[in-house]
A and B are shown apart, each in its own frame.
Chain A
Amino acid sequence: MAHATTAVQDQETKLIEELGYDDHFHEHEHGDKFKSNFITKYIFSQDHKMIARQFLITGIIWAIIGAAMSVIFRLQLGFPDESLAWLQPLLGKWIEVDAATGVGKLSQEFYYALVTMHGTIIVFFVLTAGLSGTFSNLLIPFQIGARDMASPFLNMLSYWFFFLAGVVMFFSLFLSTGPFSGGWVAYPPLSVLPQASDGSGAGMTLWLISLTLFVVSVALGGINYITTVLNLRTKGMSMWRMPLTVWAFFITAIIALLSFPVLVSGFLLLMFDRGLGTSFYLNEIFIGGQALDHVGGSPILYQHLFWFLGHPEVYIIILPAMGLVSEVLSTHCRKPIFGYKAMVYSILAIAFLSFIVWAHHMFMAGVNPFISNFFVIFTLIIAVPSAVKVFNWISTMYKANIRYNAASLFAIGFVSMFISGGLTGIFLGNSAIDIQMHDTYFVVAHFHIVMGVAAFFGMFAGIYHWYPKMYGRFMNETLGRIHFWGTLIGAYAIFWPMHYLGMAGVPRRYYRFDSFEYLRPFDDLNQFITIAAIITFFLQILFVVNFFYSIWKGKKMTTKNPWGSTTIEWTTPIEPVHGNWPGKLPTVQRWPYDYSKNGRDFIPQIEPLGPNESEVH
């Protein structure tokens, strides 16, 4: 086996040498600019491989913070009568300890802050920057055969704007009035009026600054991804020969660039309302018994602007995961992805439809029911391209000789989660059913499974699969499988029962459920969910340990192409070099999914078509 792989490697090196394209890249030495020192190599790096790792590790840190917050508010929801005094060293004054009994309670204000920060952090910092930022950076130049991004400098800025956004948000956690607490969607008037809640003062100001910096980061990254894909593909890499990962990142970047600026506009008006006395979103408000002189605004206007980003945002999160899963599944099933073109067209269809469904988040906010019908129809139509993708993944797995490892298991888990969460989306997309379901745990269950857990599964599949490409070592496989099975069972244990809570009418965002008689029977179920959440959280710590341990101590990668992949990132040397390929750039001769073709296990993209071979897909 080892002998065979060496032969394959020699063959690949020869192919690049013979057919590769000489761009004279390594002839000019660029002075000393790329003979980097510690700072330019590890901190202000302009190398896409390093920037990808920066995004990933920053994302992991934020994921731990965001998930830990959810554990704290789950403790409140599962065990509202237990003392949380032991959390006081961590949370300080946010745990209100009764001097007489010594019982500590989570401050109600801070409960909302935790819920808000959990949403903001996971949606933006982890699943947007940590997922798409990491893998777009890593895979776009590698898989299309480019030396680096179109503008490595802007790429570096993209990471540092993200970092800065993180610093501002992190700082806001330590304000004496607490971070913003009005929900991650930041609806006015709560988000506008400092007198409405403690978090709406300085906390909200920092939240707005942080997210504006974040949008700058997304824009700089997105401009680069699009330009790189369209301009820097190597010879032979036509659009129809791009791996589905690259297609997904490319379309994701387009969606992000068209939707995030709209959010900024919404924020801009919000800032004017907050600081300069305009009334874009405010109308005839009484607060603390006093009438404000804001007249003529409309809070619904903000919701339109927010969800014009907000809905595409969920596809910004899920499309990269879908791309990663397609690639990982095909590789480990040793089969071509089923329906390559259908996959691409469904990505395009999803991207297009994502822009005309935003008001399904606002069915109960007082929008015209006739307009709602329009949004119901398009929301339900999104199920079609989504289902096409699901059927294609299942067909790819059908009768395949699947290599079960952490990467492929997470990819299969993604498909399971996406189906479970996607089906409940069809319920919620109906404005009539939404009357019953809105703002309940059914909604919480739906979006956590379909875009939270599913996106995490896609990300994990990607991390386990491309880890050797990032660090030259493998993650521990046994720990990876324990991580997978634990997380799969844990995630379903957390979110499956929430559907029943939601159908029974348990509202989301409540601090505790003892005010109404009909909510009392669910105490046990809430405890069960909380225990499942704690166990699942600690399983993720196992992943983090595995991740960092493997960077230094993992099993070393000894061959360039450990998974037997067709795509060209696996033709680069194990020890990464500036410009990705040491000599010529490889040229691409075929599509990326020639697995198990003509009696061969796989045929790399750099190998020319045989005399009687046709490139059919």
Chain B
Amino acid sequence: MELTLKQNTGRSKIHPHKFALWVGCASLLMMFAALTSAYIVRQSAGNWLEFTLPEVFKYSTATIILSSIVLHASYIAFKRQNEMGYKVLLVLAGLLGVAFLGLQYQGWVQLMENGVPFTLNPSGDFVYVISWLHAAHVVGGIAILAVAMIHAFGLPFRVTPKRKLRFELSLTYWHFVDALWVYVFFFLTLYR
């Protein structure tokens, strides 16, 4: 990314990297849209085990939403030159992200204990596969936050356009995986 050419055609437009990220998110969204559509198609074909989602998923949903809010607060602190708030909230958002993964793991364990082990019936397998795929994207998000933390603690604190852009890119992706889980959660709750 360092080698990206600086191009300014003199018009106020969204930064190309930000736009590219949005396009990439749209593409990722299609993956999940495909899986949830497959879910609906498969469900209508019968032989479909019915069960309720483990309670833990509610807590994980709350956790990831909270994490998004905290990261946004960190971003606002960053823009207001509040170094302490920026760093503390950034770390907190990352920890909440890790907590989300822990809760998801608990969810999978509970699902298994509730009598819906993996490979029993496609209805359960869809829950596993979709939430695993989502978790993989959260792992990517945590890696991005880790890089953001390295920047936060490794570089002298300065609000430059370049660092603001980097933060905004991380923030957008984090919000995206958050919204993605909210979509998956409501989908899986409503289409039982």
Question: B4, A153: Cβ atoms under 8 Å?
Answer: yes
| Set A151, A257, A280: member contacting B16, Cβ < 8 A | A151
Which residues from A are CB-within-8-Å of B3? 33, 46, 152-153
Which residues from A are CB-within-8-Å of B1? 151, 153
Q: Report the minimum CB–CB distance from B115 to chain A (whole Å).
A: 16
Which residues from A are CB-within-8-Å of B121? 279, 296
Q: A234-B9, A278-B119 are in contact. Are A227 and B31 (CB under 8 A)?
A: no
Asked if A276 CB lies within 8 Å of chain B CBs, one says: yes
Which residues from A are CB-within-8-Å of B122? 278-280, 296-297
Question: A304, B23: Cβ atoms under 8 Å?
Answer: no
A146 and chain B: residue at smallest CB distance: B7
Which residues from B are CB-within-8-Å of A272? 125, 129
Stretch at the interface among B39-47, B63-71, B89-97, B173-181: B39-47
Asked if B17 CB lies within 8 Å of chain A CBs, one says: yes
Stretch at the interface among A218-226, A458-466, A567-575, A597-605: A218-226
Asked if A265 CB lies within 8 Å of chain B CBs, one says: yes
| Set B9, B10, B27, B33: member contacting A257, Cβ < 8 A | B27
Asked if A232 CB lies within 8 Å of chain B CBs, one says: yes
The 8 A CB mask of B28-39 against A (1 = contact, 0 = none) is: 101111110010
Question: A231, B129: Cβ atoms under 8 Å?
Answer: no
Which residues from B are CB-within-8-Å of A296? 47-48, 121-122
Asked if A185 CB lies within 8 Å of chain B CBs, one says: no
The 8 A CB mask of A247-282 against B (1 = contact, 0 = none) is: 000000000011111101110110010001111100
Number of interface residues, chain B, beta carbon within 8 A: 41
A578 and chain B: residue at smallest CB distance: B5
Which residues from A are CB-within-8-Å of B23? 222-223, 226-227, 257
Q: A223 to B18, alpha carbons, bound, how many Å?
A: 11
Q: A226-B23, A258-B27, A265-B38 are in contact. Are A150 and B16 (CB under 8 A)?
A: yes
Which residues from A are CB-within-8-Å of B45? 298
Which residues from A are CB-within-8-Å of B16? 150-151, 227-228, 231-232
Q: A347 to B49, alpha carbons, bound, how many Å?
A: 44
Asked if A409 CB lies within 8 Å of chain B CBs, one says: no
Q: A223-B23, A231-B14, A297-B122 are in contact. Are A268 and B5 (CB under 8 A)?
A: no
Asked if A124 CB lies within 8 Å of chain B CBs, one says: no
Which residues from A are CB-within-8-Å of B5? 25, 147-148, 152, 579
Question: A298, B19: Cβ atoms under 8 Å?
Answer: no
Which residues from A are CB-within-8-Å of B28? 261
A297 and chain B: residue at smallest CB distance: B122
| Set B17, B32, B38: member contacting A151, Cβ < 8 A | B17
Q: A152 to B16, alpha carbons, bound, how many Å?
A: 12
B48 and chain A: residue at smallest CB distance: A296
The 8 A CB mask of B98-125 against A (1 = contact, 0 = none) is: 0000000000000000000011011001
Q: A25 to B10, alpha carbons, bound, how many Å?
A: 13
Q: Report the minimum CB–CB distance from B5 to chain A (whole Å).
A: 5
Asked if B26 CB lies within 8 Å of chain A CBs, one says: yes
Q: A257-B23, A258-B26 are in contact. Are A23 and B47 (CB under 8 A)?
A: no
Q: Which of B121-141 contact A (CB under 8 A)?
A: 121-122, 125-126, 129, 133
Which residues from B are CB-within-8-Å of A264? 31
B32 and chain A: residue at smallest CB distance: A265
Question: A23, B8: Cβ atoms under 8 Å?
Answer: yes
Asked if B20 CB lies within 8 Å of chain A CBs, one says: yes
Question: A152, B34: Cβ atoms under 8 Å?
Answer: no
A253 and chain B: residue at smallest CB distance: B23
Which residues from A are CB-within-8-Å of B41? 298, 301, 304
Q: A546 to B162, alpha carbons, bound, how many Å?
A: 48
Q: Report the minimum CB–CB distance from A111 to chain B (whole Å).
A: 33
Question: B34, A261: Cβ atoms under 8 Å?
Answer: yes
| Set A147, A262, A295: member contacting B7, Cβ < 8 A | A147
Asked if A338 CB lies within 8 Å of chain B CBs, one says: no
Which residues from A are CB-within-8-Å of B8? 23
Asked if A49 CB lies within 8 Å of chain B CBs, one says: no
Q: A230 to B38, alpha carbons, bound, how many Å?
A: 33
Question: B42, A298: Cβ atoms under 8 Å?
Answer: yes
Asked if A106 CB lies within 8 Å of chain B CBs, one says: no
The 8 A CB mask of A292-313 against B (1 = contact, 0 = none) is: 0001111001001100100000
Q: A219 to B21, alpha carbons, bound, how many Å?
A: 11
Asked if A341 CB lies within 8 Å of chain B CBs, one says: no
Which residues from A are CB-within-8-Å of B129? 268-269, 272, 278
Q: A231 to B119, alpha carbons, bound, how many Å?
A: 46
Q: A585 to B32, alpha carbons, bound, how many Å?
A: 41
Which residues from A are CB-within-8-Å of B33? 262
Q: A468 to B65, alpha carbons, bound, how many Å?
A: 55
Asked if A21 CB lies within 8 Å of chain B CBs, one says: yes
Which residues from B are CB-within-8-Å of A260? 27
Which residues from A are CB-within-8-Å of B27? 219, 222-223, 257-258, 260-261
Q: A266 to B125, alpha carbons, bound, how many Å?
A: 14
Question: B19, A227: Cβ atoms under 8 Å?
Answer: yes
Question: A224, B20: Cβ atoms under 8 Å?
Answer: yes
Question: A280, B9: Cβ atoms under 8 Å?
Answer: no
Asked if A235 CB lies within 8 Å of chain B CBs, one says: yes
A23 and chain B: residue at smallest CB distance: B8
Which residues from B are CB-within-8-Å of A53? none
Q: A21-B9, A258-B30, A261-B34 are in contact. Are A151 and B20 (CB under 8 A)?
A: yes
Which residues from B are CB-within-8-Å of A151? 1, 4, 16-17, 20
Question: B30, A262: Cβ atoms under 8 Å?
Answer: yes
Asked if A334 CB lies within 8 Å of chain B CBs, one says: no
Question: B35, A265: Cβ atoms under 8 Å?
Answer: yes
Question: A301, B38: Cβ atoms under 8 Å?
Answer: yes
A147 and chain B: residue at smallest CB distance: B5
Question: B9, A23: Cβ atoms under 8 Å?
Answer: yes
Question: A262, B31: Cβ atoms under 8 Å?
Answer: yes
Q: A146 to B38, alpha carbons, bound, how many Å?
A: 41
User: Which of B6, B7, B45, B125 is the most central at the interface, judged by chain A CB atoms within 10 Å of its CB?
Assistant: B7
Q: A297 to B48, alpha carbons, bound, how many Å?
A: 10
27 interchain pairs, CB-CB under 8 A: A21-B10, A23-B10, A25-B5, A25-B6, A33-B3, A147-B7, A150-B17, A151-B1, A151-B17, A153-B3, A219-B24, A231-B16, A233-B9, A258-B27, A261-B30, A262-B33, A265-B31, A265-B38, A272-B125, A276-B118, A279-B121, A280-B38, A295-B47, A297-B122, A301-B41, A305-B34, A585-B9
Apart from A261-B31, A266-B38, list 20 A-B contacts with CB within 8 A: A25-B7, A146-B7, A148-B5, A153-B3, A154-B20, A222-B23, A223-B24, A227-B19, A235-B9, A257-B26, A257-B27, A262-B31, A268-B129, A278-B122, A278-B129, A279-B119, A279-B121, A280-B42, A280-B126, A585-B9
Report B's interface with A, CB cutoff 8 A: 1-10, 13-14, 16-17, 19-20, 23-24, 26-28, 30-35, 38, 41-42, 45, 47-48, 118-119, 121-122, 125-126, 129, 133
Report A's interface with B, CB cutoff 8 A: 21, 23, 25, 33, 46, 146-148, 150-154, 219, 222-224, 226-228, 230-235, 257-262, 264-266, 268-269, 272, 276-280, 295-298, 301, 304-305, 308, 579, 585
Listed from nearest, the 3 A-B pairs whose CB atoms lie closest are A265-B34, A262-B34, A150-B16
